[in-house]
């Protein structure tokens, strides 16, 4: 069994500095963690691609949908992706999982902790943000799917979770 790379160990150090529980998968440059967000629980994987000094952070949460709902879910995620600057949404058809993936290439073998932290925060926030929209698609009766205006649905701000720290600013 080969030892974990310096890259994945630097990710583990970043997680530890934030008090995030994680485990490195034996024999692989992959770290696994779980996070409770506002709307959902997120399974997170961090994978280091050591030859190119890249890190991918992948967050997943289950979303069981019927075959009739799949085209609408995929359209929802495509529309949401149009507004992203970093990362992208996916839907794993075999496992019925909402997925958010973000990747960064680093200059040094030790990944910058601030960038890793931002990647994790982004992954959690984006999956947490899309979950209520996806749940509306999931719960829409099949005979009403054609009436669902996905572009308008994504404009609903009442479904967006509060930004941490902004709760105190509420009246």
pLDDT for 140 equals: 97
Give residue limits of the domains in the chain: 6-161
Give Rg (Cα) of the chain.
18
E strand or H helix at 41: strand 41-49
Tell me the CATH architecture of domain 6-161. Answer: 2-Layer Sandwich (3.30)
Instruction: Note the pLDDT of residue 166.
Output: 55
Q: Indicate the pLDDT class of residue 1, thresholds 50, 70 and 90.
A: confident
Residue whose C-alpha is closest to residue 24's, from 39, 42, 5, 52: 5
Report pLDDT digits (tens) over 36-94: 998 899 999 999 999 899 999 999 999 999 999 999 999 999 999 999 999 999 999 99
**Residue pLDDT, tens place only, 135-152:** 999 999 999 999 999 999
Task: Show the tokens assigned to 5.
Answer: 């790379």
DSSP label of 144: G
Assign residue 53 a region (left: φ > 0; alpha: ψ between -120 and 50; beta: otherwise). left
**What pLDDT score does 161 carry?**
74
What span, in angstroms and rounded, lies between the C-alpha atoms of 46 and 94? Answer: 21
* pLDDT tens digits, 87-113: 999 999 999 999 999 999 999 888 999
Helix (H) or strand (E) holding 42: strand 41-49
Taking residues 14-30, report their average pLDDT.
95
- Let me know: does 101 contact 29? Beta carbons within 8 Å: no
CA distance readout (Å), 10 to 31, 57, 149: 11, 14, 44
Per DSSP, the three-state class of 138 is: helix
Asked if 97 contacts 61 with a C-beta cutoff of 8 angstroms, the reply is: yes
Asked if 16 and 41 count as a contact pair (C-beta separation under 8 A), the reply is no
Q: Which residue has the higher pLDDT, 149 or 170?
A: 149
């Amino acid at each position: 069994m080969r030892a974990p790379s310096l890259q994945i160990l630097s990710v583990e150090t970043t997680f530890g500095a934030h008090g995030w529980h994680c485990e490195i998968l034996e024999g692989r440059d992959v770290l696994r963690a779980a996070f409770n967000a506002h709307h959902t629980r997120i399974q997170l994987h961090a994978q280091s691609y050591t030859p190119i000094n890249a890190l991918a952070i992948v967050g997943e949460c289950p979303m069981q949908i019927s075959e009739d709902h799949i085209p609408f879910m995929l359209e929802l995620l495509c529309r949401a992706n149009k507004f992203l600057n970093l990362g992208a949404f996916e839907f794993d058809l075999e496992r019925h999982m909402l997925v958010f993936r973000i990747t960064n290439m680093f200059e040094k073998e030790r990944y910058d902790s601030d960038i890793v932290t931002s990647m994790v925060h982004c992954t959690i926030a984006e999956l947490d943000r899309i979950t209520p929209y996806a749940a509306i698609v999931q719960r829409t009766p099949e005979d009403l799917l054609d009436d669902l205006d996905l572009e308008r649905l994504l404009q609903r701000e009442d479904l967006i979770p509060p930004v941490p720290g902004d709760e105190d600013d509420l009246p």
